[in-house]
Amino acid sequence: MIVCEPSGHFFALHTAHTTYQMAVDEQGHLLHLYYGPRTDASAVVLPPHKDPGCWPNLLPQEWPAPGLGDHRAPFFEPEFADGTIAADLCFESAEVRPGKYSLPGLPAFWAQDPQGETLSITLTDAAGLTVQLLYGVIADCDLITRAAVIQNTGSAPLTLRGVPSFSLDLPRKDLDFLTLDGDWAYERTPHRTPLRPGVQSVGSVCGIPNHFHNPAALLCTPDATETSGECWGMALVYSGNFRIQAEQSNAGVRFAAGIEPYHFAWILAPGESFTTPEAALVYSNSGLGGMSRCFHTAIREHLIRGKYRDMSLKRPVLINSWEACYFTFDEEKLLALARAAKQSGVDLFVLDDGWFKGRNDDTTSLGDWAADTAKLPGGVDGLCRKINDLGLDFGIWVEPEAISPDSELFRAHSDWALQIPGRATLPIRHQYTLDFSRDDVREGIWQQLTALLDSCPIRYLKWDMNRSLANVYSAALPAARQGEVYHRYVLGVYDLQQRLIDRYPDLLLENCAGGGARFDCGMLYYSPQIWTSDNTDALSRLTIQYGTSLFYPPCTMGAHYSAVPNHVTGHVSDPQARMAAALSGTFGYELDLTAYSQDQRAELREWSAFYQEHGALIRSGTLYRLCPPDGFGSAWAIAAPDSSQAIVFAVGAVLDGRSLPLPFAAQGCYEAEIRQTGAETSRCVQDGEALRAHGLPLPNLHSTLPGYICYLKRSSHS
């Protein structure tokens, strides 16, 4: 519910459990008052104005503007034609609208009336600038979103050098900053540190968010745990260069995020406007777990679109050819893998990298999206038909944003690659990046993609992206507009993915970027699942999936059962441990099943059936992180909202003999089906009261990395 007082000078955004308040002060500035537990108090207590020389530094500003006395780190930087960087934005008007706003060309959470509402507040600067702040409220999910539309209302061009999506001034200093950081194969490891005076930030200048930092972060009170304490979480709905910063000053903490200002300069001609990406905010006073569950529900119900938004709809169990074949295969090898996969209960066969003209390693051919007939004599359609004849659906890998210097596409259109004139272009993984800011470049790739997708029934597309942007210069833009290329590139990716899902509404799209380098709310608007990491080792996945789950729900995480020793880490873990990790996402296989015996395939068939039987619960259930990963093990549960069923996962000998507390409201009696290392599947009855009081007892599992998966279903007699 949005309250906009008749005076138009006080605003409250209410969700089920939270309230966000703002007010206009006597100078006409929009101040932030409150973001915390729900309150209906509407008494406006404006922060006291201090000495006129320094007060802007102390005031909680809803849209901090530079140049006029607020000396905290500027994020909004409008440069006027006279070279000044300053803005004095005063309240002009406000409007409440039913339904949540959408953003043209940009991903955004969506919610129609009555689930969503919009508050639009217009601020103006007489020098020729208008900022329309858009607030979306999705009350049931405790989600508040913010974006801004910045318009040049002057008579000369204006350059935007920095644009926040949101900024939140909190009146306290003792907060921790938690970010998700890592590297290739080690994405989204949580790091939590107490804030100290000054600016602490994470971000990306790689053109994509990249493996190093995720565009989602939170502030929390030092006492915050999984189940208690206050958290302010923020996820950017954006997939390019970003910055998230927290500044501790005398006034408290300013938490802000938006497009990274490095190499960003967007020119607005008179009358033109720029729309920022959206930021999504959640406040929780029930710890990290409470915050995560709000994001999970909002992402499942108000971000993901298309037919796979229905979490009860089966997602295919897939086999991906990458770790089974890499670049070395022919049609017979693929068909043998497909036959073994069919016997293992797989529904869909995905042909990964290496299938197109001359692609025998990673040095060539990106951009030439037609079959290598030396490997696939009948073409992609011929292979697809044979896979279909085995009773499997077919999917394929592409990397549409990439171009190899050694490719027909590059020989024909070398200017399509991002390259700086007069400088050598840097190949990363032997490849360049196409200039997706250009319509003609995207159109060329679109023609190839549609030819491929129209050639046979392709049910799944893995869209990969394996290179950070470098040599960022667009041949289609003048020198003054080169600061627009990074953002225009991201808009180009969104444009092509939107065209794809419009034309192929039944296609299951999975995004990927060298593992999980582009795992964010922006990409989830287009694809319901994203490849989480190239590291499928069970122990590593405990941390990667734990970190990812702070913001993103299990149903979005591509997770595959793979071979041991693991191809990335060399670790060996028990099948149950690998299954626990893989079953907690969108399940599939990534290994050479032709090396498996008939008995082993029969065992895998049972796991595939387990996923198909319980997949709807895994995708739509409520996640409880029971023990955070500590390098030795971890435990978590996914429960139905009515507690009628749940799956408890535990990995690691460190949990041996412990009782796992179950936070969901277990009632009555539960039939339990237990699969664990070193034992046959067993069944027993668990008393709900006892589970609540004492937790779920774990047996002693004797192995280095054992696994335990217990499915609980309330008995019909209870």
Q: Which residues bind ligand DGJ (CB under 6 A)?
A: 322, 352-353, 397, 464, 466, 512, 514-515, 531, 534
CA angle at 268 for the pair 265 and 273, rounded to the nearest 5°: 110
Rounded distance between C-alpha atoms, residue 516 and residue 534, angstroms: 7
Pairing state of beta strands 77-79 and 393-398?
A: unpaired
Shortest CB 86 distance to ligand DGJ, Å: 45
Per the annotation, the verdict on 534 as an active-site residue is: yes
177's CB contacts (< 8 A; 6+ apart) are: 192, 193, 194, 195, 200, 217, 218, 219, 246
We find the least distance from the C-beta atom of residue 3 to ligand DGJ, in angstroms, to be 47
**Pairwise CA distance, residues 537 & 642, whole Å:** 33
CB 666 within 8 A of CB 647: no
What CA–CA distances, in Å, run from 365 to 37, 289, 658? 55, 45, 53
Burial class (CB in 10 A: 0-12, 13-18, 19+), 451: exposed
Of 346, 345, 314, which Cα lies nearest the Cα of 620?
Answer: 314
Question: Looking at beta carbons only, is 187 or 301 nearer to ligand DGJ?
Answer: 187
Please say which residue, 366 or 441, places its beta carbon nearer to ligand DGJ: 366
Contact, 123 vs 9, CB < 8 A? no
Q: How far is the CB of 464 from ligand DGJ (least distance, A)?
A: 5
Angle between helices 598-620 and 575-583 (to 10 degrees): 30
Under DSSP, is residue 71 helix (H, G, I), strand (E, B) or coil? Answer: coil
Smallest distance, ligand DGJ to C-beta of residue 571, A: 18
Please say which residue, 277 or 354, places its beta carbon nearer to ligand DGJ.
354
We find the least distance from the C-beta atom of residue 344 to ligand DGJ, in angstroms, to be 19
Strand partners, 131: 123, 150
CB-closest chain residue to ligand DGJ? 353
Structure tokens at 33: 């008052």
Could you say which of 70, 368, 393, 534 is catalytic? 534
Query: Can you point out the beta strands (E) in 175-251?
Result: 176-181, 189-194, 198-204, 213-220, 231-237, 242-249
Backbone angles phi, psi at 539, to 5 degrees: -65, -45
Residue 194 bridge partners (DSSP): 176
User: Among residues 593, 136, 125, 519, which one has the least CA distance to residue 346?
Assistant: 593
DSSP string, 486-541: HHHHHHHHHHHHHHHHHH-TT-EEEE-BTTBTT-SHHHHTT-SEEE--S---HHHH
Q: How far is the CB of 514 from ligand DGJ (least distance, A)?
A: 5
Strands (E) in 28-111, as ranges, are 30-37, 77-79, 90-98
Shorter beta-carbon distance to ligand DGJ: residue 514 or 629: 514
Please give the structure tokens belonging to residue 172: 């306290």
Cβ at position 413, least distance to ligand DGJ in Å: 22
State the nearest-atom distance from the C-beta of 206 to ligand DGJ, in Å. 16
Cis peptide preceding 164, ω within 30 of 0: no
The minimum distance between CB 262 and ligand DGJ, in angstroms, equals 26
Task: List the catalytic residue out of 125, 372, 393, 464.
Answer: 464
Q: Which residues are catalytic?
A: 464, 534
